[in-house]
Structure 1
């Protein structure tokens, strides 16, 4: 790696190196991969059977003809917390495929989206200089589109995960699609609510610059409002010192609700704030449904305060991306799309789905995460 690359990595965060030759793949002796061997799927109630089958179908096609080596890079917003399972999944897949490359991400995101987008653009530039033939990326925003398009113009396919960037020339997006995810969460809460009318407070997003967040929020609102409930949205924020303000804002919404509040729905990893707001408003027994598996959310689930949460299968997001990039390089984009068509909602978006985890299944879900080594 160049000195410039080393300096930028030091400034940005952490690089996880993948092996040049992994024990799970075989080789023809000349450095060319000839057969991909996946780690067997675990047998567990939370195993995404259909998703595993789709990956197996892709591997079967790849294995019909000897495939060439590939250098790739997976660029994550972070390699800790929510993103740690993505990093683990990507590293495992790159090892199984016997590709070379890096998984890159910050140890501590700055919270300054403009700066983070600029650094990510530098990442793209650097991995191209280092010889990357394919890139997976969790983009920060629209300012990453030009850098992605420049990579594509050089013949490098790009797959986005977590956040989409449909304004770019990325080939495929892999993730929990916003509107359907929000609808699933709304349906989970709906089963716990008393008959309408009533008000549901949603800890969501109304900022149009974050399309995935607004889509998720709108999907939840549509389900709940179609069932006769009124919804009010509290804008979620991750800024330093925002927790108290966030909780107070939801508390005021609960107290002012007309008709009275009957439940809360948190749509992001800070959904545990819903339980704090309900307690502050003197309504600790209101049903609450959350998103993600933040330790504080889990604590509230164990106390019976949060009834269920929704997991975005971060491990599988990271795991699938190298396989898609490898398929695109060796089989072609159209052929790869055809193989994964059962999980595609259109010609470019792969819906990973959600794990719905009720409070009484916390330990069972943790067992599943342990098996695939994907704890946050």
Structure 2
């Protein structure tokens, strides 16, 4: 039994395989390759029309090329919660492309640590060994550099999503640009605050090893400090007792900060802990803005406790990655980057942006997520 079999209790593997006479695409009644056809975009105020247009351009150029078969894999940190829309989208894209591919990620809650990192390195190695010519990867920061570089040396193109490894040999990053996303959150909260002096708590990151979280935190911190507020940053914790630690720290700061706390920002999918801390401190009126669309965050939004949240469009990250990998295979890296230019902020990073969702737009946003099967 190979390593994939031994991972079966920890890993979700969803395989899609479609091939036609070695073309990688099904044939029509006349024996011709059927052009790639995408599902139509939903008509909704939250539909990112610029990302949809980019995907359409990729399809148009790929259809005009000599389409070749391809095997790919998307390796994620997890397959549940925040990551469920990524799984849905990546599988949908691979089905539309007609490629052979799989999406894998632990189904149990994960923690940053050596075991998770080693497991992902093994997954990368196994996918390449099994024939993947392209890898979409949500890495654990820079810890997968060697595994990525080895995959590239073996001939696989690597596209990172959600978290980047800019020092590696990956071809393209697809996801949120964290400093600008943090700045957006800071500006969202700024409109709700009384004039300074005042203290703002950021439930973010102080970890230099977690560069993406630190960048998002610094983006929010810069906006608020420039506006004249004192900013206190707490390190978000994902361990089994992290919720208690985070809530206790923020509760203490609300009770002791000088000048008094006037607002809070949560920068990750555990943002709802800000509302828990405000409640524990007897200050439920504090304006709070968050990230992501965890069900607990949504509950606090419906109660009026969280005023707005910022969604990272993880569905579109998962959807674009297979198309980009297929584009690199069929039309080349440079031609693919040219198509991605409207979202390409430098030579290799695609900014998928964020959706700012105020509390009174929950139902409209849920309708949008439902229309693309992207509910968490």
| Alignment TM-score, normalising by the size of structure 1 | 0.95
How has the CA–CA distance of structure 1 residues 76 and 299 changed in structure 2, closer, same or farther, with 3 Å as cutoff? Answer: same
Per-residue Cα deviation, 1:155-201 (whole angstroms, up to 9, x for no partner): 21000001111121100000111101100111111111111221111
- Superposition map of 1:135-146 within 5 A: 135-146=135-146
Give 1:268 shift: 0.6
Contact 1:33 1:69 (8 Å CA) reproduced:
no
Q: Matched residue of 1:27: which SS?
A: coil
Give 1:345 shift: 1.1
**2:345 alignment counterpart:** 345
Give 1:327 shift: 0.5
**1:14 alignment counterpart:** 12
- Superposition map of 1:205-216 within 5 A: 205-216=205-216
Instruction: For structure 2, list consecutive stretches of 5 or more residues without a partner in the other structure.
Output: none
Between the aligned partners of 1:370 and 1:319, the Cα distance in structure 2 is 16
Contact 1:113 1:140 (8 Å CA) reproduced:
no
Give 1:126 shift: 1.0
Aligned residues: 372
Between the aligned partners of 1:20 and 1:109, the Cα distance in structure 2 is 31
Instruction: For structure 1, list consecutive stretches of 5 or more residues without a partner in the other structure.
Output: none
Give 1:28 shift: 6.3
Between the aligned partners of 1:282 and 1:118, the Cα distance in structure 2 is 43
Contact 1:199 1:261 (8 Å CA) reproduced:
yes
Give 1:12 shift: 3.2
Between the aligned partners of 1:65 and 1:151, the Cα distance in structure 2 is 26
**2:38 alignment counterpart:** 38
**2:359 alignment counterpart:** 359
Q: Matched residue of 1:10: which SS?
A: coil
Per-residue Cα deviation, 1:67-97 (whole angstroms, up to 9, x for no partner): 1111000111111111010000000000010
How has the CA–CA distance of structure 1 residues 244 and 227 changed in structure 2, closer, same or farther, with 3 Å as cutoff? Answer: same
Between the aligned partners of 1:163 and 1:98, the Cα distance in structure 2 is 27
Contact 2:70 2:133 (8 Å CA) reproduced:
yes
- Superposition map of 1:1-376 within 5 A: 3-20=1-18, 26-27=26-27, 34-376=34-376
How has the CA–CA distance of structure 1 residues 34 and 67 changed in structure 2, closer, same or farther, with 3 Å as cutoff? Answer: farther
Give 1:290 shift: 0.6
Give 1:11 shift: 4.6
Q: Matched residue of 1:286: which SS?
A: coil
Per-residue Cα deviation, 1:216-235 (whole angstroms, up to 9, x for no partner): 00000111111111111111
Per-residue Cα deviation, 1:123-164 (whole angstroms, up to 9, x for no partner): 111111211111001112333111110111122100000111
Contact 2:186 2:224 (8 Å CA) reproduced:
yes
